[in-house]
Chains A and B, each alone.
Chain A
C-alpha cells in the first residue's frame, strides 16, 4: 500500500534530431504534471488519445524516465529505481502474458526470477487462485493461446496480485473485450480492487468505465492534467470548457452568448437574465454551456431560443428522445419525452440553475451549477 505522488514531471519523447537550440520541437507528452493518488484509492486517468495518459502510467511504472520531476511512493523517491524493484503490478490492454507458459507458469514467473522458495511460490499461487474466484483453477493449466480475451485478462490480473504489489497500474485493461464481456469483467476487476484496497491508477478512454471503476477521475489534455476530482465534481464543477465537454455523454452544448442590459443574447434571441447572473460579474462575451437535460424544451413561440430541429433520436428503452438542432452554428441537443412530436422548430430555454458559463477567451469556468441538492 502506498500513496503515489508525481511532482512536476516533464517528459519529452523527442529524439535528438528534433531538439534544436531553441528547445524541443514537439510539445511534451507530460508537461509539468503533479498528481497525488491517495493510499488505497482507484484514480482513473481519462482524456483523448495522445493526451499523455499512458505515458503518465509508464513514468509511475518506471518504464519511462522523466526529463525532470520526481515520482514518490509514500515518501520514498522512486525516480531512479528500476521498474522491477518498484513493486508495481501492471495490466496491459493486450494482456502481455508469456505465450509459452501455462497460466500457472505466468503466475510463478516472478518467484522464479526473484529466486524465492518453492514453498512461498506455491502458497501465493494457491491463495491468489482462491481470491480470483470460481473456475480460476482451471485456467492455470492452460496456455494463453487457448484462453479467451476475458480469461487472459483474469490471468494477467492474477499475475499482478500474486506478487503483492504496492501499486496497481492498469492501461485500458478491458478495451479489447467485446461489450458484454467488458461489463462483466469490469465488475470483476472492481470487486478485486475493493477486496485488496491497493492504490490503483487506471487509464481508459471510456468515461463510463472511469465512473464505474474509480474514486476520483483525472482529466488530461495535451500533457496537462486539467482537473482531478470525483465524477460529481468534474461533472457539476468543471474547471474549464474542455473538462465540461469531455465529461458527460451526449456532450454539453456550448453556445456563444452576449450578456448585456439584463439580457442573455443568443443569436437573435434575447432571454431575461436569471437572478444569479445579475449579481455575478461576468464579461460581455461568454460561452454558455447547457447539458441535454438542462434545456427546457417547448413548442411555444418565444419560450426561449428558436432552434430548427435537424434530428429526433428516440431511445425506446430509456423512454426518452434527444432533439438536435443548430444554434449559433453549434449543435445543441435537448432531452425530451420519448413521444415528443417530430416538429420542425422548437424553443429551448436553459434551466438557469443548471447552466454553465465559460470565458470566451480563456475558456475557464466563470459559473458552474455545483453539485445539486436534490433531496
Chain B
C-alpha cells in the first residue's frame, strides 16, 4: 500500500486555480521531487500535504487514512523550509529540540538525540550558539537536524537549498539524502531547479500551471519526455529544437529543416506516417550529437548536421560547443562532448553526427511527443 496517496487534488485561490486535479502515489521510502517554473503549483501542493493550506477538493491519504481535515501538528510531518525557519531567540540545541519538546518527549531522549543529529550535520560544536551567529549553510543544517530528530511519517522540503551558494549546495544535497536514507520514510521535495531534481529524486513530477505534465524517474523524463515542455525543462544545456517538416521518400520518413535533412529510424515509421507533410519540432539533446569519427553508429548525409562553432566551454566531463547553422534562417544549437574540442575549431564549420535513435519529435501545435 502506498504511504502517501493523493487523488484529484485541487486548490483554488479565488478565481485562480493553483493546483488542478493532480493525483500521485508515493511508496514507503521514496524520494519524490516536485519541479517546475515558479507559479506551477508545486509549493501549494507541498503545503497541502503539510496541512498548511486547506484543500479545495480531492483527497490526501497517509497510510490509507484521510488527512484532509487533520491539523498540521497532528499530521506528524516534518518540514524544512527555504528560509530555514529557525527561532532566533533559541540556541541551536533548543531549535533542534523544539519539535520534540512540543510533543512532550522526555529530556533523556532529547539529550540523546539532539547531539547525535547535530553531529551528523557537523554542527555539534555550535549547539550553544544563537542562529544569528551562524552562516546560512549552518542554519540550514540546524533545520535539517531538527527534522532528523523527529520520527515523522513524511518529510517535506520546500526549496531548502535555494539560499545557499553553489559550493555549499553540493554538500547540502548529500546531507538531505543522508536524512532521507536514515529515516526510511517518504520524502517530498520542491524545487525549481531541474538539476537538483535529477540529483535527488527517485521519481520526479514536472509541473506546469497546476498540473503534473509527467511523473517518472529522471531517466524516463530525460529519454522519453511526453511533451515539448518536459523535454525542454529537463537537461542542461537544454535540448536543441528545430522546426521541421516530415516528408516520405524512398520508403522512409525524413525530417526536413532549412539547414539539414535527416532520415528517421524505421521503427518510428508507423507512428509518424499520419504526420507526413505536417510541421513538427525535432528535438535532439546536446549529448546525442557526436564527433563523426567517434560516433557509435554509421554516419552519412542522412544523419549529419553542420554548424559554425561560436563558443567552446570546457566542463569537468569534456566541453559544450555552441554552434549556429549556416544560411538565412540560422539556428543556434549546442553539442556536449566527452572530449576537449580544441580552440582551433572556433569560427569553423564542423559536421556533427546525430544519433537518430535519440531524436525526439513533437507535434508543432499540440506539442505532444509523436514517438514516446
Q: Which residues does A use to contact B, with CB under 8 Å?
A: 178-180, 208, 211, 230-232, 235-236, 249-250, 292-293, 315-320, 335, 339, 371-372, 374-375
CA distance A316 to B194 in the complex (A): 10
In the complex, which of the residues B235, B340, B344 has the most CB atoms of chain A within 10 Å of its own CB atom? Answer: B340
Instruction: Flag whether B195 is at the interface (Cβ < 8 A).
Output: yes
Q: How far is the CA of A235 from the CA of B344 in the complex (A)?
A: 13
Closest Cβ of chain A to B120, distance in Å, is 21
A315 to B236, CA, bound (A): 12
Tell me the B239-255 residues at the A interface (CB within 8 Å): none
- Give the A-binding residues of B (Cβ under 8 A): 165-167, 195, 198-199, 218-219, 222, 235-236, 287, 291-294, 314-318, 336, 338-345, 348, 350-351
Q: How close is A201's CB to chain B, nearest CB, in angstroms? A: 20
A318 touches B315 (CB 8 A): yes
User: Would A335 and B345 count as touching, CB distance under 8 A?
Assistant: no
**CB-CB < 8 A to A293: which residues of B?**
317-318, 338-340
Contact in complex: B314, A317 (CB < 8 Å):
no
Determine whether the beta carbon of A372 is less than 8 Å from that of B351.
Answer: no
Asked if B342 and A371 make an inter-chain contact with CB atoms under 8 angstroms apart, the answer reads yes
Give bound CA distance, A232 to B342, whole Å. Answer: 6
CB closest residue in chain B, given A319: B287
CB-CB nearest in chain A for B201:
A316
Most A CB contacts (10 A, CB to CB) among B167, B198, B317 go to B317
What CA separation (Å) do A208 and B343 show in the bound complex?
14
Identify A320's interface contact among B222, B338, B344, CB under 8 A: B338
Minimum CB–CB distance from B351 to chain A (whole Å) comes to: 6
CB of A20 to closest CB in B, whole Å: 45
Whether A335 contacts B219 in the complex (CB less than 8 A), given A320-B338, A371-B344, A375-B291, comes out as no
Q: Are B343 and A231 in contact (CB under 8 A)?
A: yes
Least distance between B325 CB and chain A CB atoms (Å): 16
CA distance A208 to B318 in the complex (A): 12
- Judge whether B293 and A374 touch: CB under 8 Å: yes
- Chain A residues with CB under 8 Å of B167's CB are 179
Q: Who on chain A is nearest to B200 by CB?
A: A316
Q: Are A236 and B165 in contact (CB under 8 A)?
A: no
The docked-state distance in angstroms from the alpha carbon of A208 to that of B312 is 12
User: CB-CB < 8 A to A372: which residues of B?
Assistant: 339, 342
A362–B318 alpha-carbon span in the complex (Å): 29
Tell me the smallest distance from the CB of A327 to a CB of chain B, in Å: 21
Q: Which residue of chain B has the shortest Cβ distance to A232 in the bound complex? A: B342
Query: Which residue of chain B is the closest to A231 with respect to CB atoms?
Result: B343
Q: Is the CB of A316 within 8 A of B195?
A: yes
Q: Considering the complex, give the chain A residue whose CB is closest to the CB of B287.
A: A319
Residue in A208, A211, A335, A374 whose beta carbon sits within 8 Å of that of B342 in the complex:
A374
Looking at A178, A231, A319, the one whose CB has the most chain B CB atoms below 10 A away is A319
A375:B292 contact, CB within 8 angstroms: yes
A317 touches B198 (CB 8 A): yes
Q: In the complex the two chains form, is A315's CB within 8 Å of B316's CB? A: yes
Residues on A with C-beta less than 8 A from B340 are: 232, 235-236, 293
